[in-house]
Protein backbone atom coordinates (compact mmCIF):
# COMPACT_ATOMS: atom_id res chain seq x y z
CA UNK A 1 0.00 0.00 0.00
CA UNK A 2 1.31 3.43 -0.88
CA UNK A 3 1.86 6.33 1.40
CA UNK A 4 -0.08 9.57 1.46
CA UNK A 5 0.92 13.00 2.61
CA UNK A 6 -0.35 14.03 6.03
CA UNK A 7 -0.18 17.51 7.49
CA UNK A 8 0.31 17.60 11.26
CA UNK A 9 1.20 20.33 13.67
CA UNK A 10 4.10 19.85 16.08
CA UNK A 11 5.94 22.10 18.46
CA UNK A 12 8.65 23.87 16.42
CA UNK A 13 11.35 23.43 19.08
CA UNK A 14 10.54 19.76 19.45
CA UNK A 15 10.79 19.22 15.71
CA UNK A 16 14.09 21.10 15.53
CA UNK A 17 15.53 19.03 18.36
CA UNK A 18 14.36 15.80 16.73
CA UNK A 19 15.92 16.75 13.41
CA UNK A 20 19.16 17.78 15.14
CA UNK A 21 19.24 14.37 16.80
CA UNK A 22 18.84 12.71 13.40
CA UNK A 23 15.38 11.35 14.19
CA UNK A 24 13.00 10.65 11.33
CA UNK A 25 9.79 12.14 12.72
CA UNK A 26 7.73 10.63 9.91
CA UNK A 27 8.89 7.12 10.81
CA UNK A 28 8.35 7.73 14.52
CA UNK A 29 4.79 8.93 13.88
CA UNK A 30 4.02 5.91 11.70
CA UNK A 31 5.46 3.54 14.31
CA UNK A 32 3.41 5.23 17.04
CA UNK A 33 0.18 4.79 15.06
CA UNK A 34 0.98 1.11 14.46
CA UNK A 35 1.69 0.60 18.18
CA UNK A 36 -1.58 2.30 19.15
CA UNK A 37 -3.55 0.13 16.74
CA UNK A 38 -1.95 -3.00 18.19
CA UNK A 39 -2.92 -1.87 21.69
CA UNK A 40 -6.61 -1.56 20.86
CA UNK A 41 -8.70 -4.31 22.40
CA UNK A 42 -10.64 -6.65 20.14
CA UNK A 43 -13.86 -4.99 21.34
CA UNK A 44 -12.51 -1.54 20.47
CA UNK A 45 -11.42 -2.73 17.04
CA UNK A 46 -14.83 -4.30 16.44
CA UNK A 47 -16.60 -1.11 17.55
CA UNK A 48 -14.44 1.04 15.26
CA UNK A 49 -15.01 -1.33 12.35
CA UNK A 50 -18.77 -1.26 12.94
CA UNK A 51 -18.74 2.55 13.06
CA UNK A 52 -16.74 2.78 9.83
CA UNK A 53 -19.03 0.31 8.08
CA UNK A 54 -22.37 1.35 9.60
CA UNK A 55 -23.85 2.45 6.28
CA UNK A 56 -23.01 -0.84 4.55
CA UNK A 57 -24.29 -2.86 7.51
CA UNK A 58 -27.58 -0.95 7.45
CA UNK A 59 -27.94 -1.53 3.70
CA UNK A 60 -27.26 -5.25 4.15
CA UNK A 61 -29.87 -5.54 6.92
CA UNK A 62 -32.41 -3.74 4.72
CA UNK A 63 -31.61 -6.08 1.80
CA UNK A 64 -32.12 -9.13 4.01
CA UNK A 65 -35.38 -7.73 5.38
CA UNK A 66 -36.63 -7.16 1.84
CA UNK A 67 -35.34 -10.31 0.14
CA UNK A 68 -34.34 -12.77 2.85
CA UNK A 69 -31.02 -14.51 3.32
CA UNK A 70 -29.27 -15.81 0.19
CA UNK A 71 -30.01 -19.52 -0.25
CA UNK A 72 -32.77 -19.52 2.36
CA UNK A 73 -35.09 -21.23 -0.12
CA UNK A 74 -32.61 -24.11 -0.42
CA UNK A 75 -32.40 -24.90 3.30
CA UNK A 76 -33.81 -28.22 4.42
CA UNK A 77 -33.76 -27.59 8.16
Q: Indicate the domain borders of the chain.
A: 12-68
Strands (DSSP E) found in 1-77: none
Distance CA 37, CA 45 (A): 8
- Of 37, 14, 39, the C-alpha closest to 25 is 14
- In this structure, how many other beta carbons lie within 10 angstroms of the beta carbon of residue 30? 13
Which one-letter DSSP state was computed for residue 73? Answer: G
- pLDDT for residue 31: 95
- pLDDT tens digits along 1-57: 788 998 999 999 999 999 999 999 999 999 999 998 888 888 888 898 999 999 999
Distance CA 50, CA 69 (A): 20
Amino acid sequence: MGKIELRIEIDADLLARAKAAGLAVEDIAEDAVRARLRSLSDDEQARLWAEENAEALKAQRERIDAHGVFGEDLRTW
